[in-house]
Structure 1
């Protein structure tokens, strides 16, 4: 892939991560687990898992954003570093969103056929949380489609270099 294409993707990902971080920060700064438990006290452990995953996602997004900014600020564009960063962002951010570590939610793959949002929660969650995830999902889906290439390309390069 040409340098300009990779650089353009890195800029797009940087903007995506900025927007994602902003949305997650706003939600996490304005919402507490105790606010959410008003819906159902029995779901407190589940809400804690959700918040843990959101915090994990924001940390990965911040790390990815920082890596993008460092690469883009260099005088000469480092294509290999950019590709490795995009690969890492794909795995740590995009895949983490669709399949979080401790299964706070899941992706319903059949939703692609219905035109509905694909992220489903195991229990009922407050509307504010649903709106956050719905607001993020479209951009995450778009980034997943754009960055899937790095899944196979980067692995192929690593295998060939051995």
Structure 2
């Protein structure tokens, strides 16, 4: 891919991450476990896990945003660093959104056929959590489609360089 295309993708991802960070921060600044329990009685430990994963996602997105800003402002534009960063963002942010490591929620792959949201929780969660994910899912889906190229391209480059 040419420098201009990669730089444009970096800009798009930077804007996506900026918005995502803002949404996660707003949610986490206003949300507590006791607040979730008052919204809907449920499993306190599960609510803690959900909030913990959202905090991890926020950190991953902040780190990705910082990396995008550095690369975009750098002269000359470092295409290799940009591609590596986009690959990392794909794994740390996008994949973690759809399938966190500790399996607190998961992606229902059949949702593409039903037109419904794909994030499913293992236990009931309050509407505020459901709405957070519903509000972000289409943007994450779009960025995932944009960055899937780096999943295969970067791995191919790593294997060929051995």
Fold match (TM-score > 0.5)? yes
The separation in 2 between residues aligned to 1:33 and 1:12, in whole angstroms, is 33
Q: By how many angstroms is 1:101 displaced?
A: 1.4
RMSD: 0.7
The separation in 2 between residues aligned to 1:94 and 1:107, in whole angstroms, is 12
The separation in 1 between residues aligned to 2:12 and 2:41, in whole angstroms, is 39
Which residue matches 1:140? 140
In the superposition, the TM-score normalised over structure 2's length comes to: 0.98
Q: How does 1:5-154 map to 2 (within 5 A)?
A: 5-38=5-38, 39-41=40-42, 43-154=43-154
Deviating 4+ runs (over 4 angstroms): none
Q: By how many angstroms is 1:103 displaced?
A: 1.1
Q: Deviations over 1:71-126 (max 9, x none)?
A: 01112100000000000000000000000111111100000000000001111111
The separation in 1 between residues aligned to 2:54 and 2:125, in whole angstroms, is 14
Residue segments in structure 2 that go unaligned for 5+ positions in a row: none
Residue segments in structure 1 that go unaligned for 5+ positions in a row: none
Which residue matches 2:158? 158
The separation in 2 between residues aligned to 1:23 and 1:33, in whole angstroms, is 18
Task: Report the count of equivalent residues.
Answer: 161
